[in-house]
Chain A
Amino acid sequence: MGQALLEVKNLKKYFPVTGGFFKKTVGYIKATDDVSFKIKEGETLGLVGESGCGKSTTGRAILRLHEPTSGEIYYKGKDVINASKNEMKELRREMQIVFQDPYSSLNPRMTVGQIISEPIVQHGFMKKGKELEDRVCQLLEKCGLARYHINRYPHQFSGGQRQRIGIARALTLNPSFIVADEPVSALDVSIQSQVLNLMMDLQEELGLSYLFISHDLSVVRHISNRVGVMYLGSLVELSSKKELFQDPKHPYTRALLSAIPVANPKTKKKQIILKGDIPSNVNPPSGCKFHTRCPYAEDICKEQVPEFRKLGDEHFVACHLAK
C-alpha cells in the first residue's frame, strides 16, 4: 500500500438549528466535530458508529456534498475544500459515492443504461452511440448484471441488483476512491455477502480505495484494513482492523463489540450493556462526550476533552484512561 491518497484534517460540519419566527440560528448540530484521518492507496478504511454519530456526514463532507464548516481535505495532495467549481468537477471523476438505499438513489424514470451513461456523457468522455453502449454493458457485466438489463428501469430489479447498478454508476468514470455509505445495510444477508464479494473483487481488479461506512461491525471487519470508531461526531478510536478487534482500547469500542449478538448459542459472552441513550449532539456532554455512559468515567473525563493519542503502532485513542 502506498502513500496517503486522502488526508482529512480537523474536519468539522455543523448544521444550524433554527427556531422562532424569524428562523434565527439558535444552535448547531455538531454532526462531524474535528475528525482527522488518512486513507492510503488501495486501502479500505471502515467507519463505524451508531446512528447520529456523524459517519455519513463525514463521508459526504469529503466529497463536498455537504459543504464542510471548517477543516482541510487533501486528495492526492490537491486541496478539496478550496477547489473551484471546475476543479471540483475534475475531482469528482476520481471520488465517487455509493449510497445506502438502492431504492431512492436511482432515478425511477431513467433506464439503467441512461443512469450509467449519464456521467460519461456529462463529463464529455463519449457521445451517445455504439461505443457508449459497449462501455455501459461492460460495466454492467463487471458488476454481475447482464447486457439485456440495459433498457430496464430500476423498479424491475431487486435490492441487491439495484445496489449493483449503484456500484456500476460509481465506477463509470474510473474513480480511484469511493465513499460507500452503508452499501449493504438494506440488503438480506445472502445478498449482502454477494455485494461485499463484488466490492472486494473490484478493489483488487481496479486498485480502488474505499471509505466504507457502516453500523455493522462484522461487515466492517470483513472488508476493512483499518477501522475508525465514531461517537457523537468524533473519532474515539482508529487502528488497524486486527488490533481494534483483538485489543480495543476505548470503552465505547469495547461495549460496541460486546453488544453484537454472536450467531452461536453456546458462546454466552459477557456483554457490557451501556446505560442510557446517545446524548444529543446539539449540546454534547462536556469533557469526554462518552462520560455519561462510560462505566469507568472519572472526574477528569467530565472536565477535559481527551486528546486523540497514539497508543501503539497506528493505534489512536481518545480516552484519558486507556493504556
Chain B
Amino acid sequence: MSEFLLDVKNVKTHFFTDKGVVKAVDGVDFKIKKGETLGIVGESGSGKSVTSMSVMQLVEEPGKTIEGAIKFKGEDLLQKTTEEMQTIRGNEISMIFQEPMTSLNPVFKVGEQIMEVLMLHQDMSREEAKNKAIEMLKIVGIPRAERVVDDYPHQLSGGMRQRVMIAMALACEPSLLIADEPTTALDVTIQAQILQLMNELKKKLGTAIMLITHDLGVVAQMADHVIVMYCGKVVEDAPVEELFENPSHPYTKGLMKSIPSLDDDKRRLDSIEGMVPHPLRLPKGCYFEPRCPYAIEKCKTHKPELKEIASGHKVSCFVATEEVR
C-alpha cells in the first residue's frame, strides 16, 4: 500500500450528449495523503464536482468515466462492482453536499437517517445505532441531541442541517470525507462554526478531506494542498502556502486578484476578461488562452501539460514554465 490514501490518475469523465461529447473531467491527476485536506478550486463548470462524483462513482447517464484509475487504499475503485462500491460509499468514503435541505430526506427523522447508515454498514442493532446517532450529534455540536434525533429536517436551521449531514457522513468513521461546497449555502458566522468543526473532527478522527469550493478564503484556511481546475483540467497543483505566495498559472493569478480584499484600497478590481468557454466549443490550444493576458503564439495551437516548477508545485502553462527555465 502506498503512502497515499487516494491516488487519482488521468481520470476522464465525459458526458455523451446529443449535441456532442462534453469533457467535464479530462485527464485529472491528484493524490491525498492520510489525514490531509486537499482543496479543489474552480468556478462553475470547471469539473470540480464531477471529479468528486467520479471518485464516488455516482456519475449518471449520459456521463461515464472512460479512462484512468482511482486508487483508494491501493485498490482501483473503477474495477469494483456496484455491490462492492456500495459497501465503500458511506462507510469508507462519505460525502457532504452543498445544499443540506435537498440532501436530507424530508420525510424521515434525522436520527433515522443517521441510524440507517450505521445499521447498513456496521451491522448495529436499532438501539446501538440510536445511541451512536445521539453521540454523533453531540460530537458535531448539536445541543439537546437526545431531542434533535427525533426531529425532521425542516425543523432545523441551515447550519444545524449541515451539522446533521456531517454527523451522518462521519458516523462510520470514514477515512475520506468528500465535502462539495459544504458552507456555500450558509451565512458567514455559521460557516465559521462549520469549518472549525470540520478541522476539529479531522484532528480527532484522522479523516482525510477532499474539499471542493470556489472560495479561496475557505481553501486558505482549511487545505494543506490545493489543485486549481479550469475546463476539466488541473491547471495548477501546489501546497497551500506555496500557491498563495507564488501563484503561477495566469488563471490562478487572475482569481486571486479578482477577490476584493479586506485591507486594500484599490478603486478598480483586476478581473479576468471574457468568460469560461462553452464546453462543446473549447479552444484548440490551451483552454485559458482566449482570456489569458500573457498568451503567446504557442498557446493557440498546443496544449500545455502539468510540469513541476518547484518542489511539489506543478503548473500547466507554457509561459509560466518557460519563465522558470
Q: How far is the CA of A159 from the CA of B275 in the complex (A)?
A: 10
Interface residues of B in 195-222 (CB under 8 A from A): 195-196, 214-221
Residues of B within 8 A of A159 (CB): 44
Q: Give 1 or 0 for each of A225-262: 1 = CB within 8 Å of chain B CB.
A: 00000000000000000000100000000011111111
Q: How far is the CA of A107 from the CA of B193 in the complex (A)?
A: 39
> If the complex has contacts A189-B214, A191-B275, A261-B218, are A197 and B268 also in contact, measured as CB distance less than 8 A?
yes
Residues of A within 8 A of B191 (CB): 259, 261
Q: How far is the CA of A93 from the CA of B241 in the complex (A)?
A: 51
Q: How far is the CA of A124 from the CA of B261 in the complex (A)?
A: 44
> If the complex has contacts A261-B221, A265-B244, are A190 and B187 also in contact, measured as CB distance less than 8 A?
no
Does B260 interact with chain A (Cβ within 8 Å)?
Answer: yes
Residues of A within 8 A of B276 (CB): 158, 188
Residues of A within 8 A of B3 (CB): none
Q: How far is the CA of A263 from the CA of B243 in the complex (A)?
A: 11
Chain A contact residues: over half helix, strand or loop, or mixed? helix
> If the complex has contacts A190-B43, A190-B255, A219-B260, are A261 and B189 also in contact, measured as CB distance less than 8 A?
no
- The reply to whether B189 and A188 contact each other, CB–CB distance below 8 Å, is no
Residues of B within 8 A of A256 (CB): 188-189
Q: How far is the CB of A195 from chain B (nearest CB, A)?
A: 9
Chain A: which residue is nearest B263 at the CB level?
Answer: A245
Does A217 interact with chain B (Cβ within 8 Å)?
Answer: yes
- The reply to whether B271 and A259 contact each other, CB–CB distance below 8 Å, is no
Chain B: which residue is nearest A261 at the CB level?
Answer: B217
- The reply to whether B256 and A190 contact each other, CB–CB distance below 8 Å, is no
Residues of A within 8 A of B218 (CB): 261
Does B86 interact with chain A (Cβ within 8 Å)?
Answer: no
Residues of B within 8 A of A160 (CB): 275
Q: Give 1 or 0 for each of A136-176: 1 = CB within 8 Å of chain B CB.
A: 00000000000000000000001111000000000000000
Q: How far is the CA of A161 from the CA of B216 in the complex (A)?
A: 23
Q: How far is the CA of A160 from the CA of B216 in the complex (A)?
A: 20
Does A215 interact with chain B (Cβ within 8 Å)?
Answer: yes
- The reply to whether A188 and B188 contact each other, CB–CB distance below 8 Å, is no
Does A10 interact with chain B (Cβ within 8 Å)?
Answer: no
- The reply to whether A189 and B275 contact each other, CB–CB distance below 8 Å, is no
Chain A interface bracket (under 10, 10 to 19, 20 to 34, 35 or more): 35 or more
Q: How far is the CA of A77 from the CA of B187 in the complex (A)?
A: 37
Residues of B within 8 A of A51 (CB): 158, 187
Does B79 interact with chain A (Cβ within 8 Å)?
Answer: no
Residues of B within 8 A of A271 (CB): 192, 196
Residues of B within 8 A of A255 (CB): 189
> If the complex has contacts A259-B188, A261-B221, A263-B216, are A200 and B268 also in contact, measured as CB distance less than 8 A?
yes
Q: How far is the CB of B157 from chain A (nearest CB, A)?
A: 5
Q: Can you offer 22 A-B residue contacts whose CB atoms are under 8 A?
A: A51-B158, A51-B187, A189-B216, A189-B255, A190-B254, A190-B258, A193-B270, A194-B273, A197-B269, A215-B188, A218-B259, A222-B260, A222-B269, A245-B263, A261-B191, A261-B215, A261-B218, A262-B217, A263-B261, A265-B220, A265-B223, A273-B192
**8 tightest A-B CB contacts, nearest first:** A261-B217, A222-B260, A50-B187, A193-B271, A193-B258, A188-B43, A259-B192, A193-B269
Extra pairs beyond A261-B220, A278-B157 (19, CB < 8 Å): A188-B43, A189-B214, A193-B270, A197-B269, A197-B271, A200-B267, A217-B262, A218-B259, A257-B262, A259-B191, A260-B188, A261-B218, A263-B219, A263-B244, A263-B261, A273-B192, A274-B189, A277-B190, A278-B187
